[in-house]
Structure 1
Amino acid sequence: MNHAVSPPPPSGDLSILDLFAGPGGLDVAADVLGYRVTGIEFDRDACATRSAAGMDTFYGDVRRYRASFFPRAQVLTGGPPCQTFTVAGHGAGRKALDQVLDYIQELHNAVRTRDAQWEDIFRTWRRISEDLRRKAVRAEGVKAKKRAVEQSRGSTRKALKKILKEHGSPPTEIKSVLKALQVPGRLVREAAELGRLLGEFRTLTAEIDRFKAELEELGDERTGLVLQPLWWVIERSRRPGSTPYEAIVLEQVPTVMPVWEEYERVLATLGYRTKRQLMYTEAFGVPQTRKRAVLMARLGETDVPVVDETHERYRTRIMPARAPKGAEGLWEAKEENAPGKDPKESWVSMEAALKKARTIAAELTVPLDLPDRPAFTVVSNYGTGGDPGARGRRDHDAPSATITGKVSRNRLVHVGTDKDLPHFDRFSFAEAGVLQTFPVAYPWRGSDQPQQIGNAVPPRLALHVLRQVLEPELTDKEARDRLKQAIADLEVWEPGDAVTVREHGQWEGHPLTGR
């Protein structure tokens, strides 16, 4: 790859280990800052992208690896896949959150016990892991039963619809019957079989509901994944002969913030200073509105300050009645700059980001042709306000809505209309990556590339976080100059030679394993 032209990192040649590394959003940011990164990633397609991008990678489930396998890693980063947590109610999200917090409390109790021995700490983790394993095995059994019942219910549904159609029921009545599970009065005498099938349908539905409730109690296998980074930190901090990580950076969706809060308590016991921050990506120059919950930590007495926003946040207001359904407009009010801080730049629009990308693409070693579209509106694949029919809309002169794994389903129409743009009515993978602030030359590989793009951390956001956590000694001016150069390097980055993805056990000669 074409490495950064900026000077070496001021804090030394730190080595980063990235758990759940994805296609390399954090990794390419670290690369332009001059840091070495090794990622662990389970998805084969994401590994193919990482290989083409020259990102050092171990393939496999993070749970098969251990911190002790990589004794020379000095920084731990990652974005563990998380189920939907919620702090409200008593549903699956609340139960999942409570379960995770309980496990973290067990680990905290183990490490803060006076004169705690490594064997006792490890025994606690092994007990938690075994509990999660048993629940996962039981959950697989319940899921198999649930699938079988769902198949039976599907057959019953087809039989119901067939009988209703034979008796002249219109689609609206069929839908109503399947929802209310009541035989229409006019058919009670004519279709005795209908009543039997509806009873069977009710029984099967109730059985499926019981399976769902059981699965909620058992939890999600991702519960164990969200605990992994914490355990790696504990292992490096408490295992005899190990050296603690110098810094930690973790990110996920905002609903994970309560988990990061509990992480902070454990990290403080282990000697870290921490900071949690809800980050708005467009406030850091990403041409996309997206929120991320970030946990930053440094070992020792150096505080981790808030990462200052460099751009204004994007705000919306209700459009006039004549605007297409689901459209958004810009709230024109300007943000006030904090005293003593540099003025914030305006957020970056899709149009501005793609225009710059077209210029860069034409000058690449292997030029890339990106379309120059007329003014457009993006019509989301998702509904808004709970209405699936009210597709979210963003105009070209605004930041993109959150890029998800369904980005390739978003339509591009002439601005203010529902008329598709000819030939270019979808974003290309390169363009979707640019809206995530990946370099336009990033070599997307494998299948389901939109999912890789949607799941990734925006590299430009990662630049801000890594620079802040890993280079606290810089002055304000040095930090600004460092970021400015790194952003320029990121935009024109190009891959070099592909690298071979390693498998579990292939430690020989790797710089982080010491073998």
Structure 2
Amino acid sequence: MSHACTPPSRPANLSILDLFAGPGGLDVAADVLGYHVTGIEFDKDACATRSKAGMDTFYGDVRRYRASFFPRAEVLTGGPPCQTFTVAGHGAGRKALDQVLEYIQTLHDAVSAQDARWEDIFRTWRRISEDLRRKAVLAEGVKAKKRAVEKSRAVTRKRLREILRTHRNSPVEIKSILRALEVPGPLVRKAVELDGLMAEFRTLSSEIDRFRAELEELGDERTGLVLQPLWWVIERSRRPGSTPYRAVVLEQVPTVMPVWKEYARVLATLGYRTQRQLMYTEAFGVPQTRKRAVLMARLGETDIPKVGETHERYRTRGPVTRESDDDGYLWGEADVESRGERDRPKESWVSMDAALKKARAIASELTTPIDIPDRPAFTVVSNYGTGGDPEARGRRDHDAPSATVTGKVSRNRLVHKGTDTDLPSHERFSFAEAGVLQTFPVAYPWHGSDQPQQIGNAVPPRLALYVLRQVLEPDLTRDEANARLEQAVEDLESWEPRETVVVREHGDWEGHPLTGR
């Protein structure tokens, strides 16, 4: 069976190169829109899923590849894995952000310099890459030392607990003593060994803290990964004989917004119009609450407006929270309403129950039917705690959107609504159902190990539909764009995989449409 029930209304002959492609969230969206996508992915399990889905794939670390290897790619997309950034405080997140922004500024200086030569720009990138490699090597050494000390501390902790138990301390008391790193006076007199062990435990803990500080200074290897898409754009824009990408689409968690802001400055210097947007997935018909920071860029003089929300945002009970946008401005509910497109009335957000019911109907008509159970009203009990309390599990009822689907989605319990009683059967979401909550087609062929992690890390395909159409099809009228998206959503839901493809390795360029070899 073909990927789409009907051909896209406005197919475009654009070839997309997707860095950090994952199991294919953006790829399947591009597929139903009529684009050809080639992905580069390091995770072998995600590559196994891509292979079964018929998604063109190169396996390996993005850093081993170069933009010049794929001269016929016209659009660059990706979601580089990023460490946790923060704009506040002086912790690891703040330092990681400062480091990334410093590297981006260095690249911007090289690109924007008067009479900038490719050789000078490339030398700048090499210096950054070598600095990152040096820090990575040093970090590995520190990590090895830290692991050895942690092993010794674990032995000491075990002995401390044994002695404290013999003196009839409860588990709560033992936890408190180890956290305070102090032995109560009466116990010191009763157990001479205890004070010495506690001193050793304090010394080892102090060493571990020192190693953590060193690692914080050295940074995270993902710093180099978040810079990769920018470098690929620079290479295609400044390397002699290369043609710039026509468009760029990048997405990540909201804390990456400051990075996208600096990316946009460089892209503007390279001749791109850009748009940055904090997108709420449920506001685009995804049956899940999730926020993504999206950077859109297009070569030339045509502006990119923000993507208009089609559905209402989901709000739990309680006070309206104030969100921070990419420039740090705090805005509340009134501002939210003023920013949305009001030309068309928004639909209500999509619930888990509605999405799974539709999937069940589609699944019964597939070439190879898939079982999607018909459950009674249920509540999802999260694997995660809320409000800092690991015991206070988050809960969402079946008639609401799912909470953010993570790599632990298979650990969530399904109970009868309003109770803590497990459903007698189907008490966990299947992989197909978890994929549906991310808006993957019910027929998506999840494969390999740790499939929940693949699902949780993926880009919601329905969100990708809206972003790709916005960036790649600027000439459509509003009515044409709406019709295009409605058809694409329908095609996405009923999509079925084509024949399995062989995943290529680095160096396997022969005959590939993007390599020109």
Q: TM-score range by the shorter chain?
A: over 0.9
1:290-313, CA deviations, whole angstroms, 9 ceiling, x for partnerless residues?
000000000001111110100000
CA drift at 1:163:
1.4
Shift of 1:335: 6.2
Alignment of 1:404-443 (within 5 A): 404-443=406-445
CA distance in 1 between partners of 2:186 and 2:111 (Å): 69
In structure 2, the partner of 1:206 is 206
Aligned to 2:135: 135
**CA–CA separation in structure 1 for the residues paired with 2:340 and 2:76:** 32
Unpaired runs of 5+ residues, structure 1, are 320-330
Q: Counterpart of 2:493?
A: 491
- Which string of whole-angstrom CA distances, capped at 9 and with x for unpartnered residues, describes residues 433-486 of structure 1? 000000000000001000000000000000000001000000000001100100
Match of 2:247 in 1: 247
Match of 2:327 in 1: none
2:101 is equivalent to residue 101 of structure 1: yes
Cα distance, 1:11 vs structure 2: 7.0
| SS, match of residue 316 in structure 1 | coil
Letter of the 1:380 partner, please give it.
Answer: S
CA distance in 2, matches of 1:8, 1:110: 42
TM-score, L = length of structure 2? 0.95
* Number of positions where the alignment pairs a residue of Structure 1 with one of Structure 2: 502
Residue number in structure 1 paired with 2:192: 192
Check 1:365–1:457 CA distance in 2 against 1; reply closer, same or farther (3 A cut): same
Query: Residue type of the partner of 1:74?
Result: E
Change in Cα spacing, 1:340 to 1:389, as seen in structure 2 (3 Å) is closer
Quote the offset at 1:337 in angstroms. Answer: 9.6
Counterparts of 2:486 and 2:142, CA distance in 1? 53
Matched residue, 2:326: none
Over aligned residues, Cα RMSD in angstroms?
A: 1.5
How far, CA to CA, are the matches of 1:17 and 1:245 in structure 2? 10
User: Structure 2: how far apart are the matches of 1:344 and 1:8?
Assistant: 24
Superposition pairs for residues 21-40 of structure 1, below 5 Å?
Answer: 21-40=21-40
Partner amino acid, structure 1, of 2:360: R
Residue in 2 that maps onto 1:323 = none
Answering whether residue 451 of structure 2 is matched by residue 449 of structure 1, we say yes
Q: Give TM-score scaled by structure 1 length.
A: 0.95
Q: CA deviation at 1:336?
A: 8.0
Would the alpha carbon gap of residues 507 and 337 (structure 1) be closer, same or farther in structure 2, given more than 3 Å must change?
A: closer
Within 5 Å, give how 1:210-229 maps onto structure 2.
Answer: 210-229=210-229
8 Å Cα contact 1:57/1:502 also seen in 2: yes
Distance in 2 (alpha carbons) for counterparts of 1:341 and 1:67 = 41
TM-aligned CA deviation for residue 162 of structure 1 = 1.3
Measured after TM superposition, the shift of residue 4 of structure 1 is 2.8
Counterparts of 1:411 and 1:215 in 2: how far apart (Å)?
Answer: 37
> Matches of residues 323-342 of structure 1 in structure 2 within 5 Å?
341-342=343-344
Residue equivalent to 1:482: 484
Rounded to whole Å, the distance in 1 between the matches of 2:168 and 2:429 is 45
Counterpart selection for 1:366 from 365, 368, 378: 368
Q: CA–CA distance in 2 between the matches of 1:263 and 1:453?
A: 27
Asked if 2 retains the 8 angstrom alpha-carbon contact of 1:6 and 1:32, the reply is no
* Structure 1 residues 256-335: aligned runs within 5 Å: 256-318=256-318
Which residue of structure 2 aligns with residue 14 of structure 1? Answer: 14
- Tell me the percent identity: 81
Alignment partner of 2:120: what SS?
helix
In structure 2, the partner of 1:91 is 91
Q: Which amino acid aligns with 2:253?
A: V
User: What amino acid maps onto 1:128 in structure 2?
Assistant: I
Alpha carbons of 1:420 and 1:236: their partners in 2 closer, same or farther (altered >3 Å)? same
1:52 and 1:40 mapped to 2: Cα distance? 15
Corresponding position: 1:164 with 2:161 = no
* Paired amino acid for 2:184: P
Q: Which of 479, 496, 504 is the equivalent residue of 2:506?
A: 504
The answer for the alignment partner of 1:326 in structure 2 is none
1:188 match: secondary structure = helix
SS at match of 2:47: helix
SS at match of 2:227: helix
How many Å separate the matches in 2 of 1:169 and 1:395?
A: 41
| Residue type of the alignment partner of 2:459 | V
CA change 1:339–1:494 in 2 (3 A) is closer
SS of the equivalent of 1:189 reads helix
Paired with 1:11 and 1:45, the residues of 2 have a C-alpha distance of 31
Answer yes or no: is the 8 Å Cα contact 2:355–2:436 preserved in 1. Answer: yes
* Cα distance in 2, alignment partners of residues 146 and 303 from structure 1: 50
Distance 2:9 2:125 in 1: 36
Q: Which amino acid aligns with 1:513?
A: T
Question: Quick check: 1:348–1:398 contact (8 Å CA) kept in 2?
Answer: yes
Residues 11 and 423 from structure 1, CA distance in 2 versus in 1: closer, same or farther, beyond 3 angstroms?
A: closer
1:189 positional shift: 2.0
Deviations 1:107-133 (CA, angstroms, capped at 9, x unpaired): 000000011000000000000000000
SS at match of 1:83: coil
Q: Residue by residue, what CA displacement relative to the aligned partner does 1:303-329 show, whole Å, maximum 9, x if unpaired?
A: 11110100000011149xxxxxxxxxx
Gaps (5+ residues) in structure 2?
Answer: 320-332
* Alpha carbons of structure 1 residues 164 and 266: separation in structure 2 relative to 1, 3 Å: same
CA distance in 1, matches of 2:361, 2:2: 18
**Contact 2:5–2:494 (CA under 8 A) maintained in structure 1:** no
Q: Is the 8 A contact 2:11 2:35 kept in 1?
A: no
| C-alpha contact (below 8 Å) 2:49/2:447 kept by paired residues | yes
Q: Work out whether residues 9 and 35 of structure 1, in 8 Å CA contact, stay in contact via their aligned partners in 2.
A: no
Moved over 3 A (4+): 5-12, 334-340
- 1:168 and 1:340 map into 2 onto residues whose CA distance is 67
C-alpha distance in 2 between matches for 1:274 and 1:187: 65
Answer yes or no: is the 8 Å Cα contact 1:337–1:344 preserved in 2: no
